[in-house]
Amino acid sequence: MMKMPKLTIGAEIEFEATAYVVEGFAGSVIVMRSNQGEVIRIGLRHLVTSDSFKLIGRVDDEVVPIFIEGVSNAELKAIKELAAHLMEAMTGYRSGTEADALPGEPRAGYDSVATTMRSRFELKANELKVSLRTLWNQKKSYENHGLHGLLDGRKSKLGTAKLDDRIQKAIFMVTDSLVDVSNTTNNRIRRLVERELKAQYPNEDISLPSEATFNRRLKELTKGVGLKGAAKQRRSISNRPDKPYSHFVATRPGEMVLIDSTPLDAYAMDPYSFEWIPVELTIALDLFTRSLVAWRFTPRGTKAVDAAFLLADMIKPKFKGYDWAETTKFAYIGIPESIVVEVGDDAPGSPLAAIPFIHPESVIVDRGRVFLSEAFSSACNYLGINLFIARPYTPTDKAHVERIFKTIRESFVLNLDGYKGPDVWSRGSDPGEKAFWFLDEIEMKFAEWVATYWQPKHHDGLSLPNVPHLHISPNHMFEEGIARAGFLYVVPDKNLYYELLPTDWRTIQHYGIDLRGLRYDGDILNDFRDQTSPYHAQNGKWPIRYDPRDRTFVAFYDHTLNQWHELHWTGMGPIHRPFNEMTVSYAKALVIQNGGNKNNQKELETSLHKLLNRIDDQQMLGRKERRLAAVNMMNTTAAARDRPLKPSIAAPDTEMQVLNSDGDLDIWAPAKPAADNDVTKNATGSKLFRTVAEAQEEDDDDDMFNF
């Protein structure tokens, strides 16, 4: 135990980089003189609490402190017994004082008045059967360090390295180099250490210990590194910060939202071939309430446009399913239900589900290509959301969202037919055999799981400072945050869909606009053909928005009227058959395969229509086209769900809306051009344009799965 020097007269101290000697005390004031003879008076409390105060006299080679609580009960009993013997030899009493004398004390030969200390110690040495020198040293150690001084140094000695420092250094260098490689054996690590020692110390003969000792020390030195565990876990451990963890602290709903994607550990069904297809899940987690405020299921991989519309999903209210439990209905906190439902405009008359909808202030994403895209950052900028990028390979920056993926797998995905496990080692013999859930069905079931399980469930990470032991769920936390910080609902912009689409810059030619191999045109371009745009930084090009999930149209912004207009694909024909970016790319590949020119509009149009015909007739050529058809259908369905039902803009001159005989503003019909009154019909007499009611009616009749 380190023996502390005392602050007494004559003690040497250091204060504000100057050495002083204590000359006296005047109450709570200490008088000190420096080596230069300067005398100062300073308050004792001010002196000892100063960071520059240091009491000189500490000995560097003092005994290393040992915690007496760390010894065994038997050893502690022996130490106390030895201390009692020493006290009896010094004072004649085992307790050290006559006031606590035991019966018969002082014993014969231990009376401090009639005997000398030396004679008492000689008698005690004979009694304990130790040498007088040993007993005398124990007395001195006990006086200086108390019970700590009586500990057996051989037993209480702190653990020291059993390996040469050079060997330990080589082990650390080798294990650090194995972080990103596959798991290896201890024998190979031993050989690598030997090689490292020869490279670092070529002129020194350094021998490694026995294999057993080396393996034991290797296990001790690499504890917590994950050297023998999963390689992915080892890489994650190596990226932990050296400093203590710091966590984001949110004080209100929507202040910080975490977004991430992960492959779903289950298969969805291909709606064409009825085979399995991999799915990816993207979620948004509100940090303050731990609420799942948005999610998206996408086939194969999440695209930038999916991530952008995930932001819009956070703002939109979520409606309760007709077969959900009554407890999943939203508990309103001073918010008129009719107003919220009317603003939602997605399912009039349907009650809201008990899933919060918020306008996030900030989002945290990783460095995935989707989240670093211009489309996602532009969407954040448009919605007024601050975008924070997590550090690379540092999952602790989004620990909450990483943890919820595990809960989703164990509590939701595990119960789905077609569950395939987290890796190939956990996979069943044929999980795709039972994958009969379609993507939209998985999404609906997940929404019900969120409303019935996750949102009302107690979370250990949630607590209220004033009631720390109260069980809190995400919905309860949302209520508390709304009651304290207020409810902010931002009405979605009617043009939000167009604003969140990715942008490409194109020139407007006399025939229209060429975008990624396809040509688009519309009457709105009549005033802009062959003109340079007012965006001088883009060399006269115009901003064109497009949806990669549905390439049948693009959106053109008329800066003179501040309106968006849809331009349709010139090769679409009378029947609207949506197709995604992947379908266009595959059609280009077919053109090249047949020796054609993919940049030729006519050849690409013919190839694309043939491909769409095979998809419509379910006559796809091979497994690749079947998967392409499935993904195309899922993507275009998602795009149709995000797309507004009604035009939010004034139509071009030749497409001015006219009222029907009843004056119903909800029915839109194009005006007939003067040149051709039957342009709205094709050769078979079918209409090119349909009302919303007609479209829904035809969709109900054209159910490909209605056997």
Orientation of helix 132-145 relative to helix 117-128, angle to 10°: 110
Q: From CA 179, how far away is CA 186, in angstroms rounded?
A: 15
Give the pLDDT mean for 343-350.
Answer: 52
Query: Would residue 250 count as lying in a domain?
Result: no
How many folded domains does the chain comprise?
A: 6
Residue 150 sits in the same domain as residue 194: no
Residue 296 sits in the same domain as residue 360: yes
CATH code at position 345: 3.30.420.10
Asked whether the predicted pLDDT for residue 552 surpasses 90, the reply is yes
Query: Would residue 128 count as lying in a domain?
Result: yes
Helix (H) or strand (E) run with residue 81 in it: helix 73-91
pLDDT band for 294, please (50, 70, 90 cuts): very high
pTM of the full structure:
0.62
Three-class SS of residue 567?
Answer: strand
Question: What is the number of alpha carbons within 13 Å of residue 464 lying toward its C-beta?
Answer: 15
Asked whether the predicted pLDDT for residue 171 surpasses 70, the reply is yes
Q: List, in sequence order, every residue forming a beta bridge with 578; answer none if it has no partner.
A: none
Where is average pLDDT lowest: 153-157, 432-436, 645-649, 690-694? Answer: 690-694
**Range 70-78 contact pairs with CB under 8 angstroms and sequence separation of 24 or more:** 70/156, 71/151, 71/155, 71/156, 75/151, 75/152, 75/155
Asked whether the predicted pLDDT for residue 34 surpasses 80, the reply is yes
More confident residue, 259 or 349: 259
Q: What is the pLDDT of residues 43-75, one digit of tens each?
A: 888 888 888 888 876 444 444 445 565 677 888
Asked whether the predicted pLDDT for residue 704 surpasses 70, the reply is no
Residue 327 sits in the same domain as residue 347: yes
- The residue segments making up the domain with residue 380 are 257-485
Query: Would residue 426 count as lying in a domain?
Result: yes
Residue 479 sits in the same domain as residue 503: no
Residue 171 sits in the same domain as residue 227: yes
Query: Would residue 571 count as lying in a domain?
Result: yes
Share of the chain above pLDDT 90, in %: 19
Residue 149 sits in the same domain as residue 132: yes
Asked whether the predicted pLDDT for residue 157 surpasses 80, the reply is no
More confident residue, 389 or 677: 389
Residue 606 sits in the same domain as residue 701: no
Query: Would residue 251 count as lying in a domain?
Result: no
More confident residue, 325 or 672: 325
Q: List, in sequence order, every residue forming a beta bridge with 262; answer none if it has no partner.
A: 281
Residue 458 sits in the same domain as residue 332: yes
Residue 478 sits in the same domain as residue 503: no
Residue 631 sits in the same domain as residue 679: no
Residue 594 sits in the same domain as residue 451: no
Q: Which residues contact 641 (CB under 8 A, 6 or more apart)?
A: none
Write down the pLDDT at residue 702.
Answer: 38
Query: Would residue 300 count as lying in a domain?
Result: yes
Of 646, 666, 689, which residue is a domain's last? 646
Write down the pLDDT at residue 30.
Answer: 87
Residue 304 sits in the same domain as residue 358: yes
Asked whether the predicted pLDDT for residue 99 surpasses 60, the reply is yes
Of 646, 670, 690, which residue is a domain's last? 646
Query: Would residue 557 count as lying in a domain?
Result: yes
Query: Would residue 248 count as lying in a domain?
Result: no
